[in-house]
C-alpha cells in the first residue's frame, strides 16, 4: 500500500523511496512531471540546495516555455531539514523580477530566477551587472541576501553565482548546465 506503479519522475530528489511520492495522496498532490516548486530536498543529501533551485527553474520553462517575463523565487530550509523552493512569481516584465519569499521568520537559503526570451542587444546568457540606469542587479541581490543565486537562461543554461563578501558583484559564477547562447 502507498506505492505507485511508476517511480517518481524527480528521482531521488523526492526521497529515498521513489515509489512513495505525492505524500501518499495522488488526488490532492498532483504534479505530472514531478517538477513543481515545493518538492522536499533533504539537506542531508549533497547538492540538495542546488537541486531545489534547478527543479524550480526547470518547472518555470516547462510551464511557461514562450514567456518573455522573468520569474523569481527563493529556496529555504524548512523545520524538518529539507530545502524547499517557493513558487515563483513574476512582475510581468521582460527584464525585471522580484522573488517570492519563504514563510515569515524563515531565512532565505538561495535565490533563483529566469531571464525572458532572447532579446537582441540584451545579455540574457549571464547574471546582470549593476549599471548607472539599473543600480540593482542579479548579483547585487545575491550579495544583499548573502546567499547563492541560480539563473536559467532562455536557451537552457543554468548558472550559479556565489557571493564574495569582500568583493561586491565579484563572486564566483559556475555553469551548472550548459546550453546554447542567445543570438546577438
pLDDT band at residue 35, thresholds of 50, 70 and 90? Answer: low
pLDDT band at residue 40, thresholds of 50, 70 and 90? Answer: very high
Q: Which of 182, 184, 164, 180 is nearest to 172 (CA)?
A: 164
Residue 24 inside a domain? The answer is yes
Q: What mean pLDDT, rounded, does the chain reach?
A: 82
Q: Is the pLDDT of residue 25 over 70?
A: no
Q: State how far the Cα of 103 lies from the Cα of 81, in Å rounded to an integer.
A: 15
Buried b (16+ CB within 10 A) or exposed e, 13-48: bbbeebeebbeeeeeeeebeebbbbebbbbbeeeeb
> Higher model confidence: residue 165 or residue 24?
165
pLDDT of 6: 54
pLDDT of 28: 46
Q: Do 30 and 91 have their domain in common?
A: no
Which residues are 42's β-sheet partners? Answer: 82
Q: What is the pLDDT of residues 119-176, one digit of tens each?
A: 888 888 888 877 666 667 889 999 999 999 999 998 889 999 999 999 888 899 999 9
Q: Is the pLDDT of residue 18 over 60?
A: no
Indicate which CATH number applies to the domain containing 112. 3.40.140
Given a contact cutoff of 8 angstroms between Cβ atoms, the answer to whether 72 and 127 are in contact is no
Q: Is the pLDDT of residue 12 over 60?
A: no
Residue 15 inside a domain? The answer is yes
Q: Do 13 and 78 have their domain in common?
A: no
Q: What is the pLDDT of residues 57-70, one digit of tens each?
A: 999 988 887 788 99
Residue 74 inside a domain? The answer is yes
As for how many domains the chain has, the answer is 2
Q: Domain of residue 58: give its range.
A: 35-177
Per-residue cell: 94: 521582460
Q: What percent of the chain has pLDDT over 90?
A: 46
Contacts of 144 (CB under 8 A, 6+ apart): none
Residue 183 inside a domain? The answer is no
Buried b (16+ CB within 10 A) or exposed e, 152-177: bbbbebbbbbebeeeeebebeeeebe
pTM of this prediction?
A: 0.79
Residue 119 inside a domain? The answer is yes
Q: Is the pLDDT of residue 98 over 80?
A: yes
pLDDT of 21: 46
Structural element, H or E, at residue 139: helix 138-145
Amino acid at each position: 500500500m502507498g506505492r505507485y506503479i511508476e517511480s517518481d519522475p524527480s528521482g531521488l530528489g523526492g526521497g529515498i523511496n521513489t515509489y512513495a511520492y505525492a505524500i501518499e495522496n495522488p488526488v490532492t498532490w498532483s504534479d505530472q512531471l514531478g517538477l513543481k516548486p515545493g518538492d522536499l530536498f533533504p539537506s542531508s543529501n549533497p547538492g540538495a540546495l542546488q537541486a531545489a533551485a534547478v527543479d524550480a527553474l526547470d518547472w518555470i520553462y516547462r510551464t511557461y516555455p514562450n514567456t518573455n517575463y522573468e520569474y523569481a523565487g527563493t529556496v529555504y530550509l524548512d523545520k524538518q531539514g529539507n530545502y524547499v523552493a517557493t513558487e515563483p512569481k513574476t512582475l510581468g516584465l521582460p527584464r525585471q523580477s522580484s522573488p517570492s519569499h519563504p514563510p515569515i521568520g524563515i531565512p532565505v537559503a538561495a535565490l533563483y530566477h529566469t531571464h525572458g526570451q532572447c532579446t537582441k542587444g540584451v545579455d540574457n546568457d549571464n547574471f546582470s551587472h549593476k549599471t548607472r540606469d539599473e543600480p540593482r542587479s542579479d548579483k547585487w541581490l545575491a550579495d544583499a541576501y548573502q546567499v547563492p543565486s541560480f539563473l536559467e537562461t532562455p536557451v537552457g543554461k543554468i548558472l550559479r553565482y556565489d557571493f564574495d563578501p569582500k568583493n561586491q558583484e565579484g563572486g564566483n559564477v559556475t555553469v551548472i548546465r550548459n546550453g546554447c547562447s542567445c543570438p546577438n
